Amino acid sequence: MTFDQWWKPGNPILFFFGGEGSVETFYNASGAVFEHAQVLDALVVFLEHRSYGKSVVPKRTLTVEQALADTAWFLSGLRAHLGCQQRECPIIVLGGSYGGMLVAWFRQKYPHLAAGGIASSAPIDFYPQDGRQEAFWNATLHTFGKYGLQSCPQELTEAMSQLKQKAETEQGRKEVAQALGSCQELHNETSAGAKADFFIRGVVATLAMLDYPVATNFVTPLPANPVKVACQRLHQNPGISGLRQIMDLFLNSTSGYHCYDLMAEVVGRPTDGHLSGPVKAPDMGLWQYQACNEMPMQSLTSDGMAFYPASDDQLVEVANTCQLRYGLTPRTTWLKVNFGGSDLQVGNLLFTNGEKDPWRVGAPKFESLLEAWICWTFMILSPL
């Protein structure tokens, strides 16, 4: 998809990486790239990621490496197709979340094809054994305390603790299943506590990530300031009943769920991932395969729409689930070996992170605003 209303031939090209969804989803939810384009008289280009939206390819080719190669092939001919001369039309690559990770890795793998990149909320340095999972949850609680209610982190902690305690007994698991609207009976499921905890953490963390000041429909219909709404619901309904209220806010605003598939989580006892709760299956199902293959720390949770990083001691459970569902074992450290984590040997790469998004704990940070400004200015002024 392209937008050329402000473009003057020879001016920059702002290329946006599509992520784990249809290209229209990102096109309609990425206002900043258009603001930059208007100021720079730039051309905006969006490219859909293979296997998402209408770009259907064999599942075995759904990898980071192949997605980067798709972009390299596309960009290698773009400037010539547009009639740009050698020192014209510098390409700036942009993306957010997984798309932001692609920006960083593209700059590392194909530095000659773009003048620079802006990676937003891009946790390229989120790997096992580094303690980031605890930092991730603390960042989530920070968002709920600062942008929800001051009492919210404590009330969340107490409700989650109550959930775990209940799940330790057969009768308690029966009560949890009823209170949370589980699609499956849980009284005989000894891993139900871990799975329900993981499900709710995915909901809570993703609400932090999506805490926009206006109503949105990017992942699911949400009101303005959903973190504040969630905290108000929990405050009025303490404990497990309040957790159910938060689940309903995130997943069931349109009554699209009969029940919640708590047992489909990737931790705990391996399950096949079959969902019986949603009226319409979420369109991010292929992400679970891709995450299992290369990014198990960002596995999909909460009925196909929310993310939470597994703890180090849960990664064996995740691997067993991935093997059951897809016949593959996660390459847990491959991306770090392939791209170097945050030790990127390339310049003209700007990382941006919002305070609300807990994934910021896995992204590199600039030492100063001056450093960020210099990086952005240099990218725009530098030809390929």
| 227-239 per-position pLDDT tens digit | 999 999 999 999 9
Residue reference for tokens 């990127």:
344
The pLDDT value given to residue 300: 79
The pLDDT value given to residue 344: 80
The pLDDT value given to residue 367: 46
Q: Which of 332, 354, 372 is the last residue of a domain?
A: 332
Residue 305 and residue 158 share a domain:
yes
Residue 323 and residue 356 share a domain:
no
Average pLDDT (320-324) is: 94
Q: Which of 311, 332, 353 is the last residue of a domain?
A: 332
| Domain at 358, CATH number | 3.40.50.1820
pLDDT, mean over the chain: 90
**Under 8 Å between Cβ of 51 and 65:** no
Residue range 167-226, pLDDT digits in tens:
999 999 999 999 999 999 999 999 999 999 999 999 999 999 999 999 998 888 999 999
Question: CA-to-CA distance for 243 and 200, rounded, in angstroms?
Answer: 7
Distances (CA, A) of 199 to 154, 158, 212, 254, 307: 19, 16, 22, 19, 9
The pLDDT value given to residue 375: 55
Residue 7 and residue 142 share a domain:
no
Q: How many CB atoms lie within 10 A of CB 111?
A: 17
Distances (CA, A) of 218 to 29, 120, 124, 146, 222: 7, 16, 23, 23, 9
Residue range 13-34, pLDDT digits in tens:
999 999 888 888 888 888 889 9
Give pTM, 2 decimals: 0.91
Average pLDDT (160-169) is: 97
Tell me the range of 128-137, 149-158, 211-220, 301-310 where mean pLDDT is highest: 149-158
Residue 197 and residue 67 share a domain:
no
pLDDT confidence bin for 370, thresholds 50/70/90: very low
Count of domains for the chain = 2
Residue 112 and residue 19 share a domain:
yes
* Residue closest to 104 by CA, chosen among 348, 357, 378, 381: 348
Rounded to 5 degrees, φ, ψ at 127 are -135, 165
DSSP conformation class of 167: T
Rounded to 5 degrees, φ, ψ at 100 are -70, -35
Residue 148 and residue 282 share a domain:
yes
| Domain at 322, CATH number | 1.20.120.980
Look up the domain containing 171 and give its range. Answer: 132-332
Q: Where are the beta strands (DSSP E) in the chain?
A: 2-3, 13-17, 43-47, 91-96, 116-120, 300-301, 306-307, 349-352
**Under 8 Å between Cβ of 91 and 15:** yes
Evaluate if residue 368 carries a pLDDT over 80: no
Residue 348 and residue 295 share a domain:
no
Residue range 58-111, pLDDT digits in tens:
888 999 999 999 999 999 999 999 999 888 999 999 999 999 999 999 999 999
Question: CA-to-CA distance for 323 and 327, rounded, in angstroms?
Answer: 4
Evaluate if residue 371 carries a pLDDT over 70: no
Evaluate if residue 382 carries a pLDDT over 80: no
Residue 376 and residue 318 share a domain:
no
Residue 317 and residue 374 share a domain:
no
Residue range 252-274, pLDDT digits in tens:
988 899 999 999 999 999 999 88
Q: How many CB atoms lie within 10 A of CB 29?
A: 14
Residue 339 and residue 282 share a domain:
no
Residue 105 and residue 164 share a domain:
no
Residue 259 and residue 319 share a domain:
yes
